[in-house]
């Protein structure tokens, strides 16, 4: 099995080194690493050039304008040659050097179409401020506020070929919409790994803060409508409770601006 890891970035030189180093540190090397850069001007391209030799042919990258993060992710999907595709954001990094090995073992053990696990949100001092602990999927789980942590979601390429890539028109909920479409609508099989996989820095397009939560809830409802799936009237409340349950301080989660 070959795993494609995709990182999309633009002017991310201040955090990208951690991302690159965490991929290089993986004990399991049956991967290709794709970096899709949106035409950075902050030294990102020079950093990628400097890292190329260390990856020994496993790194490929492009640098050109794009139409946002999900357009760039779709480019990564089209570039991929692996059996499985996952995404590692340019301000995130793997928790330890055994993550890809665990992913490969999970696919071999479960025979699932996709696997997912847990992640930690960290602050600027790399202190853990929130843990997203997943659970296994049950039919109707999305309507109850459930969703895999997208940075831990690794899926067979054939699913992208069959059901399509990200829909940028959905906005920052495009990753939610893709997983809803794959799992809830089309019934791909999944396996949950009770394993911490990724350290995620705050500041992404869909992280915490009440304003972001409300915006993403609206966009999630649009994802249900697009896929002609029912969305219960209490979905917003259910989603808030589900999100709050994964943080050590719910008030901090709801009201801290990011």
Nearest to 91 by CA among 170, 11, 179: 11
Q: For 115-141, what is the mean pLDDT?
A: 91
Q: Is the model's pTM score more than 0.75? A: yes
Please determine, for residue 234, whether its predicted confidence score (pLDDT) is greater than 90. Answer: no
Q: What confidence category does residue 257 fall into, taking pLDDT thresholds of 50, 70 and 90?
A: very low
Beta-strand (E) ranges in the chain? 3-9, 31-37, 59-63, 84-87, 92-94, 114-122, 128-132, 154-156, 190-200
Residue 80 tokens read as: 């991929």
What phi, psi does 203 have (nearest 5°)? Answer: 110, 0
Q: For 233-237, what is the mean pLDDT?
A: 75
CATH class of 3-255: alpha beta
Beta-carbon neighbour count of residue 48 at 10 Å?
23
For the chain, give the percent of residues with pLDDT over 90. 76
The pLDDT, as a whole number, for residue 169 is: 93
Please determine, for residue 153, whether its predicted confidence score (pLDDT) is greater than 80. Answer: yes
Q: What confidence category does residue 210 fall into, taking pLDDT thresholds of 50, 70 and 90?
A: low
Q: Count how many Cα atoms sit within 13 Å of the Cα of residue 204 in the half-sphere of its side chain.
A: 28
Please determine, for residue 198, whether its predicted confidence score (pLDDT) is greater than 60. Answer: yes
Answer with the residue of higher pLDDT: 112 or 212: 112
Q: What confidence category does residue 208 fall into, taking pLDDT thresholds of 50, 70 and 90?
A: low
For the chain, give the percent of residues with pLDDT over 70. 89
Q: For 34-50, what is the mean pLDDT?
A: 96
Arithmetic mean of pLDDT over the chain: 90
Q: Are 68 and 168 in contact (CB under 8 A)?
A: yes
Q: What is the DSSP code (8-state) at residue 51? A: H
Q: Are 89 and 165 in contact (CB under 8 A)?
A: no
């Amino acid at each position: 099995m070959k795993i494609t890891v995709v990182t999309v970035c633009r002017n991310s030189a201040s955090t990208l080194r951690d991302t690159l180093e965490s991929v290089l540190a993986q004990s399991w090397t049956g991967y290709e690493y794709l970096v899709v850069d949106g035409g950075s001007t902050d030294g990102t391209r020079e950093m990628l050039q400097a890292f190329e030799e260390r990856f020994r042919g496993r790194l490929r990258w492009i640098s050109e304008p794009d139409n946002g993060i999900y357009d760039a992710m779709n480019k990564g999907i089209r570039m991929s040659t692996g059996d499985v595709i996952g995404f590692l954001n340019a301000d995130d990094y793997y928790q330890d050097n055994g993550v890809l090995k665990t992913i490969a073992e999970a696919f071999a053990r479960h025979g699932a179409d996709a696997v997912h696990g847990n992640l930690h949100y960290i602050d600027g001092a790399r202190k853990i401020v929130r843990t997203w602990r997943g659970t296994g999927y049950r039919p109707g789980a999305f309507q109850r506020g459930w969703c895999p942590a997208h940075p831990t979601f690794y899926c067979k390429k054939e699913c992208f070929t069959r059901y399509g890539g990200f829909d940028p028109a959905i906005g920052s909920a495009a990753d939610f919409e893709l997983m809803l479409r794959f799992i809830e609508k089309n019934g791909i099989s999944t396996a949950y790994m009770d394993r911490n996989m990724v350290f995620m820095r705050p500041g992404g397009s869909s992280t915490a803060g009440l304003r972001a939560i409300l915006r993403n809830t609206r966009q999630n409802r649009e994802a249900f409508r697009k896929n002609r799936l029912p969305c219960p009237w209490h979905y917003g409340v259910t989603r808030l409770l589900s999100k709050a349950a994964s943080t050590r301080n719910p008030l901090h989660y709801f009201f801290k601006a990011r």
